[in-house]
Amino acid sequence: MNFWQSFIEALESLTSNKLRSGLTILGIVIGVGAVIAMLAIGTGAENSITGEIQGIGTNLIFVFRGGSEDVRNPEPLTLGDAEAIADPFAAPSVVGVAPILQGNAEVSYSGESAVTTINGVTPDYEVVRNYHVTEGEFISEAHMLGRSAVVILGVDVADELFGRKSGLVDETVRIEGQPFRVIGVLEEKGGGSFGSEDDQIIVPLTTAQTRLIRRSTSDRVDVIFVGAASADLVPQASDEVAQILRQRHRTGIGQDDFTIFSQQDFLDVASSITGILTIFLGGIAGISLLVGGIGIMNIMLVSVVERTREIGLRKAMGARKMDILTQFLTESVLLSLFGGIVGIGLGWLISVVVGQIAAASDADIVPVIGMDAVLLATLFSAAVGVFFGLYPANRAASLEPVEALRYE
């Protein structure tokens, strides 16, 4: 018996009992659809997170206070540290340094109020963090020297206070009860795993130090953002920054009281987390595919019992054990393949629905169905058909002709 003949006979056998075959295929459809949908959602989440990190800038370095757990009472980061890092002779790979003070504050206007993030920054912050204003101007050296009561609003704060995102320059808002003049509105960036970058306000660093955010020392800062000359020079710039801070803080080898992160560090962590999440989701969905395979085995075993006399007759007329084995195995594989093909469509449909729900909820997740996921699900479904069909097929092929013909 050739393969084509086995295929035709298997197809006729399956279509002779359409309802039973359809219900068996349904288990594989659900399993394959779930696997593809979960992998697509996981890939979309990974792309969203990595895209957000990449949007920060490919040459950005973050410097935080605190090192390993062995370091007690770490020295705070200061404006002096930022000035030392900005020295082109000490750190030739660095092209921009932006120290920042961070806190929370209540902003109010005409009876409306909002609690938001307040950032005290220098003019270099605009370039280092790649920020832009849609109207007005950014913080300048004049604002820094005069400790000016000026503020730049994120679009979420502007919308909450004024009900609009434009025409706000020279308006006056109150921050912690103190009047501040609006000099600009930030370009919309959206939100994500790091929180919304639109829910913030920006003031001059000197103003934040003296009027809004109190720290133990006057020159203390919370974070130092460092811009490397290029993405390729980020590792070299990180080493230069680390060497400068070790000298200034007088720390021993392996006793750094600061932490340096680059964009690649965040990308590696994010990719690792989302990769584990995707595997976990795919594994959970794979359980339903396993259940579908058990359904195939169950139905094929029932089919062997129902067709015992037919098998005996075939073997009595000269059919070999391999012919019977091939026929039943082909039926099993066809069930799983048909289920896999329909399951691909179901997985695509689920991904589209999830993408629309995410878009309606302002979640930046776009499920991505990769060819690798389709091939994996298809091959896995075929493997399920072979694995769970092998035992019933072998049982059918091993029947003795005389016993099979006597079976009632």
What does the alpha-carbon distance between residue 179 and residue 280 come to, in Å, rounded to a whole number?
Answer: 51
Query: Closest Cα partner for 381 from 351, 348, 342, 349?
Result: 342
d(CA 179, CA 175): 6
How many angstroms separate the CA atoms of 196 and 362, rounded? 11
Beta bridge partners of 104: 117
Q: What pLDDT, on the 0 to 100 scale, is given for residue 192? A: 46
pLDDT at position 179 is 93
Q: SS3 of 147, please?
A: coil
pLDDT at site 185: 92
Tokens of 23: 């219900």
Residues 6+ apart with CB under 8 A from 103: 117, 118, 208, 212, 213
- In this structure, which amino acid lies at residue 237? A
Q: Which residues pair with 262 in a beta bridge?
A: 61
Record the tokens describing residue 37, joined without a space. Answer: 């949908």
Place of tokens 């996921």: 373
pLDDT tens, residue by residue, 197-225:
788 999 999 999 888 888 877 788 889 99
Q: What integer pLDDT is reported at residue 99 of this predicted model?
A: 92
For the question of whether the overall pTM of this predicted structure is more than 0.75, the answer is no
List, for the chain, all residue ranges whose pLDDT scores fall below the cut of 50.
192-194, 408
The enclosing H or E element of 271 equals helix 263-306
- Tell me the domain boundaries of the chain: 3-53+268-406, 67-256
Q: What is the spatial distance between Cα 37 and Cα 353, in angstroms, rounded to a whole number?
A: 10
Q: What is the dihedral of CA 192, 195, 196, 197, to 10 degrees?
A: -100
CA distance 325 to 26: 24
